[in-house]
C-alpha cells in the first residue's frame, strides 16, 4: 500500500513537471529559432548588398574608363592636336585603336552630323535621341550615357556622347563626339565577378536586362521569361529600398539587394531564395544534435530529481505522523519526541502540533533557514561579481571585434582605392610628362595647368598612401633608440612655417626606448603637423620630454585655438576631420601606433589658449643601467 501510494504520487508529479518543461522548452525554442532566423536573414541581405556594390563598382569602373578615354581624346586633339577641331583622321585613328568602338560621329552644336567613322547600328533612330544628346552635351556641357541597344543576336551596345571644346579653358561647347560602344568587355568582366551562390542581373532604367548570372559571355541575349517576371516583381515590391524580401509570381520568396550605377541610371540586383536563412539554421541545429540530446536528458533528470525532492519530504513525514498518531491511539503512555517525527515547517507540521510540542524543532528549523539564506546571499554576491567580470570581458571582446571589422572594411576600401585610382593616376602622370616633352614652347597657362595636374596627382597619391598605411598592419620592427637624438632629428626634418617659434624643452637626461622607429616617427610628425596647422602661421610650438622612473612623457604643445569637447571625442576616429581637405587618418594613425606600443596618450586643451598632446612610453634603458628593460 505504501509503495502503491508513493509510486502513484511520484509519477503524477513527474508527468506534470515534464509537461510544464516541454511547453516552456517549446515556447523558448520557437522564440530562439525565430530570432536566429531573423539574424541569419539580415546577414544574408548584408552579403547580397556587398555583392551588389562590388558588381556595381565593376560596371561603374567600365563606364568611367569610357568617359575618361573620350574626354582625354577630345582635350588632346582639340587644344594640343595641331588643329582647331576634330577631323576625320582623328576619328579613324581612335576607332582603329579601340575595337569596342564600332561607330563614331562628330556633330555640330545643333546635332547635325559633320563627319563620321564606321557604320551606325540600324536598331534605332538617331532622331529620337539627338534632342537629349544636344541638351546634355551642348547646353549642360556634361557626358551623355544613353540607352542600351541590341547589336546582333548576342551583342549589345550603348550610345554615348561627349562635349567637344576648341580649347581646354573654354566653357562653350562647339560640337559633340557621338560613339556607339560594344559592351562585350563589360559583360566579360561582370561574368567573372558574379557570385557563384547568388543570382544577379544588370538592368537599365527602362527595365532592359543587360547582363545576368549565367548569360553567355556575360551579356543578355534572349532573356528568359521567368527572369523578366522576376525583374517586374522586384521593381514593384522593392521600390526605393536597397534590400528586402520579394514574392515571385510563382509564389516563391527571395531576398533581394540593389545597387545603383550612376550616371547611367542602371541597377544591379542580387538575390537568393528566402529559405536560405532557415536552411542554415536547420543545418546548424542538425549538426548540434548531440547538444540537443544532452539538453533533453538533463531536463529529464531535472524533472525526476525535482519530483523526488518534492514527493519524498511529503510522504515520509505523513507516514511518521500516521505512526505517531497510531501510537497515541493505542498506547496510553506513548511519548512522541521531535526526533521521532522530523516534521517540516508546513501544513503537515501544523497537524503534528496536536501530537507533540514542536517549539524547539521550529526554532532549530528557523536557524537552519536563516543560515541557508546567508549562504544563498553570499553565493548570489559571488555570482553577481562573476557576471560583472564576464560582462566586462564581453564588452572588451565586442569592442575588439568592431575594431577588427572596421579595419577589415578599411582594408577592403584601401585595396579598391589602390587598384581603381592609382592605375589611372599613373596613366595621367605619364601622359602629362609626355605632353610636357611634346610641347616645346608652352604658354604660361599651359605650364600652370601642368603644375596643377602634377600637384593634384601627388595629393591623390598621398591620400592613397595614408589610407593604405592605416589599413595595413605589419609586424613591429622594434629597435632601441636614443630618445633625445631621435626627437631632435624629427624636429630638424619637420617643415615649419617661418612665422612660428619652435621651443626645445627636451629633458637633459636622455633615455633609450625600444620602439618601431618609423611608426613612432610618423605618429610624432602627424601630431606636430596638426599643431603647426592649428596655429595658422603664427605662434609657438613646444616639443619636449619629461623622464619618470619607468616611463617617459613626450609632449607637443601649441598656442592655437584649442580643441572643443565635441571634436576631442571624435578626433581619433578614422576619417573624421575638421579640415577642408584631408582623409581624417592622421590622428587615427597616432592612436593606433601608441596602442600597438602599449603606450598612453592624453590631451590637454583650452579654447583660445592651445593644446598639448602627451605620449607616455616605457623606458627601455637609462644612462648607466646595464640590464634595465632587458629580458632574460
* CATH of residue 554: 3.30.565.10
CA distance 150 to 208: 11
What residues form DSSP beta bridges with 257? Answer: 243, 270
Between 481 and 319, residue with greater pLDDT: 481
CA distance 5 to 17: 18
In the chain, the number of structural domains is 4
Is the same domain home to 377 and 242?
no
Q: Is residue 181 part of a domain?
A: yes
Between 338 and 236, residue with greater pLDDT: 236
User: Considering the chain, what is the average pLDDT of its residues?
Assistant: 76
Band of residue 188 on the pLDDT scale cut at 50, 70, 90: confident
8 Å CB contact between 573 and 624: no
Identify the pLDDT of residue 553. 93
28 has pLDDT over 90: no
What residues form DSSP beta bridges with 618? Answer: 551
Is the same domain home to 437 and 579?
no
555 has pLDDT over 90: yes
The CA-atom distances, in angstroms, between 558 and each of 450, 496, 502, 562 are 37, 13, 10, 9
Q: Is residue 623 part of a domain?
A: no
466 has pLDDT over 60: yes
Q: Show which of 319, 347, 375 is a domain's final residue.
A: 319
Band of residue 58 on the pLDDT scale cut at 50, 70, 90: confident
449 Cα distance to chain centroid = 39
Q: Is residue 524 part of a domain?
A: yes
Q: Show which of 446, 473, 500 is a domain's final residue.
A: 473
109 has pLDDT over 70: yes
Residue 445 is placed in which grid cell?
597657362
The CA-atom distances, in angstroms, between 342 and each of 104, 326, 336, 614 are 107, 17, 11, 73
CA distance 45 to 283: 19
DSSP 296-336: HHHHHHHHHHHHHHHHHHHHHHHHHHHHHHHHHHH-TT---
Q: Is residue 631 part of a domain?
A: no
Is the same domain home to 402 and 528?
no
592 Cα distance to chain centroid = 18
End-to-end CA distance of the chain: 79
Identify the pLDDT of residue 607. 85
Between 290 and 542, residue with greater pLDDT: 542
Q: Is residue 415 part of a domain?
A: yes
Between 178 and 431, residue with greater pLDDT: 178
Q: Which helix (H) or strand (E) holds 415?
A: helix 359-438
Identify the pLDDT of residue 445. 79
Sign of the C-alpha dihedral, residues 286, 290, 291, 296? positive
181 backbone dihedrals φ, ψ, rounded to 5°? -110, 130
Q: Is 66 exposed, middle or buried (0-12, 13-18, 19+ CB in 10 A)?
A: buried
Q: Which domain holds residue 63?
A: 55-276
Is the same domain home to 27 and 64?
no
pLDDT digits (tens, 9 = 90+) for 355-375: 555 434 434 555 677 888 888
- Residue 520: CA count within 13 A, CB half-sphere: 27
616 has pLDDT over 90: yes
Range ranked top by mean pLDDT from 316-325, 334-343, 555-564: 555-564
Is the same domain home to 542 and 604?
yes
Band of residue 182 on the pLDDT scale cut at 50, 70, 90: confident
422 has pLDDT over 90: no
Residue 397 is placed in which grid cell?
571582446
* Location of C-alpha cell 537629349: 132
8 Å CB contact between 554 and 515: no
CA distance 514 to 596: 13
Identify the pLDDT of residue 32. 60
Q: Show which of 436, 458, 473 is a domain's final residue.
A: 473
244 has pLDDT over 80: yes
214 has pLDDT over 60: yes
Q: Is 593 exposed, middle or buried (0-12, 13-18, 19+ CB in 10 A)?
A: buried
Q: Is residue 332 part of a domain?
A: no
Q: Which helix (H) or strand (E) holds 546?
A: strand 539-547
DSSP 540: E
Is the same domain home to 6 and 116?
no
Cis peptide before 134 (omega within 30 of 0): no
Mean pLDDT lowest among 236-250, 298-312, 393-407, 570-584: 570-584
DSSP 566-629: HHHHHTTSTT---SSS--S-HHHHHHHHHHHTT-EEEEEEETTTEEEEEEEEE--B-TT-SSTT
Query: pTM, whole model, 2 decimals?
Result: 0.42
8 Å CB contact between 153 and 81: no
Is the same domain home to 243 and 307?
no
Identify the pLDDT of residue 37. 67
Is the same domain home to 146 and 35?
no
- Residue 595: CA count within 13 A, CB half-sphere: 10
276 has pLDDT over 50: yes
63 Cα distance to chain centroid = 26
- CATH number of the domain encompassing residue 271: 3.30.450.20
Is the same domain home to 115 and 61?
yes
Average pLDDT over residues 487-494: 84
Q: Where are the alpha helices (DSSP H) in 119-219?
A: 126-134, 184-193
Q: Is residue 325 part of a domain?
A: no
Average pLDDT over residues 514-539: 83
The CA-atom distances, in angstroms, between 488 and each of 93, 388, 500, 528, 597 are 59, 47, 17, 13, 21
- Minimal CA–CA distance to 269: which of 579, 529, 56? 56
Average pLDDT over residues 94-104: 84
Residue 17 is placed in which grid cell?
513537471
What residues form DSSP beta bridges with 103? Answer: 118, 180
Is the same domain home to 469 and 534?
no
Identify the pLDDT of residue 40. 75
Identify the pLDDT of residue 581. 56
Between 111 and 466, residue with greater pLDDT: 111
Identify the pLDDT of residue 12. 65
Average pLDDT over residues 107-124: 79
Average pLDDT over residues 83-111: 83
Between 409 and 261, residue with greater pLDDT: 261
Is the same domain home to 381 and 413?
yes
Q: Strands 478-482, 199-203: parallel, antiparallel or unpaired by DSSP?
A: unpaired
8 Å CB contact between 160 and 66: yes
Q: Is residue 191 part of a domain?
A: yes
| Cα angle 99-101-102, degrees, rounded to a multiple of 5 | 95
576 has pLDDT over 60: no
Q: Is 431 helix (H, G, I), strand (E, B) or coil?
A: helix
CA distance 81 to 167: 11
Identify the pLDDT of residue 346. 62
Identify the pLDDT of residue 472. 60
Percent of the chain with pLDDT over 70: 69
Band of residue 490 on the pLDDT scale cut at 50, 70, 90: confident
8 Å CB contact between 234 and 269: yes
Q: Which helix (H) or strand (E) holds 555?
A: strand 551-557
354 Cα distance to chain centroid = 75
pLDDT digits (tens, 9 = 90+) for 133-157: 888 888 888 888 877 777 665 578 8
Average pLDDT over residues 572-601: 69
- Minimal CA–CA distance to 422: which of 453, 450, 449, 458? 458
Is the same domain home to 118 and 33?
no
1 has pLDDT over 50: no
Q: Which helix (H) or strand (E) holds 544?
A: strand 539-547
Amino acid at each position: 500500500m505504501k509503495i502503491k501510494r508513493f509510486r502513484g504520487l511520484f509519477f503524477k508529479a513527474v508527468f506534470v513537471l515534464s509537461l510544464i518543461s516541454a511547453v516552456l522548452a517549446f515556447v523558448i525554442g520557437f522564440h530562439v529559432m525565430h530570432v536566429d532566423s531573423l539574424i541569419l536573414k539580415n546577414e544574408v541581405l548584408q552579403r547580397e548588398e556587398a555583392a551588389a556594390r562590388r558588381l556595381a563598382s565593376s560596371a561603374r569602373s567600365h563606364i568611367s574608363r569610357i568617359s575618361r578615354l573620350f574626354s582625354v581624346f577630345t582635350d588632346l586633339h582639340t587644344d594640343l592636336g595641331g588643329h582647331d577641331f576634330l577631323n576625320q583622321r582623328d576619328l579613324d585613328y581612335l576607332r582603329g585603336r579601340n575595337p569596342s568602338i564600332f561607330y563614331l560621329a562628330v556633330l555640330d552644336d545643333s546635332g547635325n552630323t559633320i563627319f563620321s567613322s564606321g557604320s551606325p547600328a540600324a536598331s534605332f533612330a538617331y532622331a529620337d535621341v539627338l534632342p537629349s544628346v544636344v541638351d546634355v552635351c551642348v547646353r549642360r556641357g556634361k557626358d551623355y550615357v544613353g540607352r542600351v541597344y541590341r547589336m546582333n543576336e548576342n551583342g549589345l551596345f550603348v550610345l554615348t556622347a561627349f562635349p567637344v571644346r576648341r580649347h581646354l579653358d573654354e566653357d562653350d561647347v562647339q560640337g559633340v563626339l557621338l560613339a556607339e560602344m560594344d559592351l562585350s568587355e563589360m559583360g566579360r568582366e561582370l561574368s567573372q565577378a558574379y557570385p557563384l551562390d547568388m543570382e544577379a542581373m544588370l538592368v537599365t532604367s527602362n527595365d532592359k536586362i543587360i547582363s545576368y548570372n549565367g548569360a553567355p559571355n556575360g551579356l543578355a541575349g534572349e532573356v528568359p521569361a521567368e527572369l523578366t517576371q522576376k525583374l517586374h516583381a522586384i521593381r514593384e515590391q522593392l521600390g526605393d529600398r536597397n534590400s528586402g524580401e520579394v514574392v515571385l509570381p510563382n509564389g516563391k520568396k527571395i531576398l533581394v539587394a540593389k545597387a545603383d550605377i550612376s550616371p547611367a541610371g542602371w541597377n544591379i540586383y542580387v538575390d537568393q531564395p528566402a529559405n536560405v536563412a532557415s536552411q542554415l539554421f536547420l543545418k546548424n541545429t542538425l549538426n548540434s544534435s548531440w547538444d540537443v540530446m544532452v539538453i533533453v536528458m538533463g531536463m529529464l533528470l531535472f524533472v525526476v530529481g525535482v519530483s523526488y525532492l518534492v514527493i519524498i519530504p511529503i510522504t515520509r513525514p505523513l507516514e511518521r505522523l500516521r505512526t505517531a498518531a497510531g501510537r497515541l491511539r493505542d498506547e496510553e503512555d506513548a511519548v512522541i519526541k521531535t526526533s521521532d517525527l522530523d516534521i517540516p515547517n508546513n501544513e503537515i507540521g501544523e497537524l503534528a502540533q496536536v501530537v507533540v510540542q514542536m517549539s524547539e524543532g521550529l526554532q532549530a528549523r528557523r536557524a537552519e533557514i536563516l543560515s541557508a539564506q546567508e549562504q544563498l546571499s553570499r553565493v548570489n554576491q559571488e555570482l553577481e561579481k562573476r557576471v560583472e567580470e564576464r560582462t566586462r570581458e564581453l564588452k572588451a571582446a565586442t569592442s575588439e571585434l568592431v575594431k577588427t571589422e572596421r579595419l577589415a572594411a578599411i582594408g577592403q576600401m584601401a585595396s579598391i582605392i589602390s587598384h581603381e585610382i592609382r592605375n589611372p593616376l599613373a596613366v595621367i602622370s605619364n601622359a602629362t610628362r609626355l605632353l610636357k616633352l611634346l610641347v616645346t614652347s608652352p604658354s604660361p597657362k599651359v605650364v600652370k595647368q601642368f603644375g596643377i595636374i602634377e600637384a593634384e596627382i601627388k595629393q591623390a597619391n598621398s591620400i592613397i598612401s595614408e589610407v593604405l598605411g592605416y589599413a595595413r598592419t605589419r609586424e613591429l620592427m622594434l629597435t632601441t633608440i636614443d630618445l633625445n637624438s631621435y626627437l631632435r632629428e624629427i624636429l630638424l626634418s619637420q617643415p615649419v612655417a617661418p612665422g612660428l617659434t619652435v621651443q626645445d624643452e627636451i629633458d637633459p637626461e636622455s633615455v633609450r626606448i625600444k620602439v618601431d622607429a618609423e611608426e613612432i616617427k610618423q605618429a610624432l610628425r602627424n601630431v606636430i603637423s596638426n599643431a603647426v596647422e592649428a596655429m595658422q602661421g603664427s605662434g609657438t610650438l613646444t616639443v619636449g620630454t619629461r623622464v619618470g622612473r619607468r616611463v617617459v612623457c613626450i609632449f607637443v604643445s601649441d598656442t592655437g585655438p584649442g580643441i572643443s569637447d565635441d571634436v576631442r571625442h571624435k578626433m581619433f576616429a578614422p576619417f573624421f576631420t575638421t579640415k577642408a581637405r584631408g582623409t581624417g587618418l592622421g590622428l587615427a594613425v597616432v592612436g593606433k601606433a601608441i596602442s600597438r606600443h602599449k603606450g598612453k596618450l592624453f590631451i590637454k586643451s583650452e579654447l583660445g589658449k592651445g593644446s598639448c598632446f602627451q605620449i607616455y612610453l616605457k623606458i627601455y634603458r637609462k644612462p648607466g643601467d646595464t640590464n634595465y628593460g632587458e629580458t632574460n
